[in-house]
Structure 1
């Protein structure tokens, strides 16, 4: 009678080599995360194969480190980028104690969650049009008593929030349609197009958010949106055209730009 022997897990050096050969710039860091996340040698080999094939690391391990928080990210859901931490920083600065915060196009809920985690007494609401994102955000925001709604931008929000929102954050897509095919494969192949494509000049969704923001913001409330440095002038014009007082901020280290409109 033959007996089966368990196959040992690949060594750390082997994992690093495979990841590096596949073009992973941070192969050593990724190897550590995969090894920590794998429950068995078989799971580790599977995870390494998926990463080598181009799946986002965050989808494989099931979480992303964002603003120092471990936030769940399901397969097929947009992965928060580090540059978006600027959006959180500015939102926290502008949120009063007990703020009502709304996170539009929330994805996994990372931005709203990070604002709530650093704010005082925040009441958090979030929306997304993608059912997978809504499910993911619902789990992430539950510890903060966050409310997550399925629908397009403002449409699913409770009417009672009109004129009551202190901080409105929206990391909407701002990649021009013609540039989507130039994105890294792990983004364009494994994240929803609705979270990437911002229309002809990248600002279609931003303009829609800006147009209705004043109806939802409290007096003195702020709308914050991430954009690219090349789109700042057009984004500020959209905010001003919606009756908001516009401003912009940039972080060179993060490579991040945020436009802000005040009611």
Structure 2
């Protein structure tokens, strides 16, 4: 049966979360209480969180652009800063657009863009089987097709030249900096979802280099990146015939480079 929170239980839960180093202990306690199905479930969830597991993994869901999306073990947890990527993409799109969420993870960005625009043809792709499974759960209500494979190798040939919006939150943490990440990410998310190679741009460069054959005339490729990496990301866009523009959101510490394909 659902947990009926008392003031004493709530206070005890907040205290335990604070002792474990949870900065937003009150908010986390509220979410745990609202999600747990029983006192035993609450105790197990609290123990997992206190042991350092990401809150979203403990809850089994994450909020992203107002949507509640399933989060499963072995999948990259969507970050709030990535909402900026989704918002920019939605602002460039239109109903009926063909949208591709590459390196999709949970499918959060694709879900947010499709929901904002309504009536799009949505595709998503990821290399990791766990991500593909999770994305299919989240995107099935939107009629999306989720493909498994290495970047563009995962896609059906019929998408070539048709994609209006291509969004990618590819890994961009330099290899040597992964050890500096919070333990929640470092210990509980697959390295392949974080490691962007020596300068953090190895996967981004592959996304950019392979994008043009898949983009419709005038289409947009949007990639989340680090603020200090943005000039190099933009240079890669230019080198492959896309006109780049760097966008930043200081409130969310988010940086996105948008590249636009030429029109005939």
Length-normalised TM-score, structure 1: 0.96
Partner of 1:163: 161
2:62 aligns to what SS in structure 1?
A: strand
Q: 2:42 aligned with 1:47, yes or no?
A: no
Q: How does 1:246-257 map to 2 (within 5 A)?
A: 246-257=244-255
Deviation at 1:97, TM superposition (A): 2.3
2:255 aligns to what SS in structure 1?
A: strand
Partner of 2:87: 89
Partner of 2:235: 237
> Post-superposition, which runs of at least 4 consecutive aligned residues in structure 1 deviate over 3 A?
none
Unmatched segments (≥5 aa) in structure 1: 1-7
Unmatched segments (≥5 aa) in structure 2: none
Question: What whole-Å deviation, never above 9, does each CA across 1:159-198 have from its counterpart, x for those lacking one?
Answer: 0111100000000000000000100001011011111000
Question: What whole-Å deviation, never above 9, does each CA across 1:13-43 have from its counterpart, x for those lacking one?
Answer: 1110000011100000000111111111111
Deviation at 1:212, TM superposition (A): 1.0
Alignment check: 8 A CA contact 1:102 1:169 kept: yes
Q: 2:72 aligned with 1:74, yes or no?
A: yes
CA distance in 2, matches of 1:87, 1:235: 15
CA distance in 2, matches of 1:53, 1:154: 38
> CA RMSD, aligned part only?
1.1
Deviation at 1:245, TM superposition (A): 0.6
Question: What whole-Å deviation, never above 9, does each CA across 1:223-248 have from its counterpart, x for those lacking one?
Answer: 00000110011000000011111111
Alignment check: 8 A CA contact 1:96 1:166 kept: no
Pick the aligned partner of 1:118 from 116, 119, 136.
116
2:154 aligns to what SS in structure 1?
A: coil
CA distance in 2, matches of 1:222, 1:56: 33
- How many residues align? The count is 256
CA distance in 2, matches of 1:60, 1:220: 42
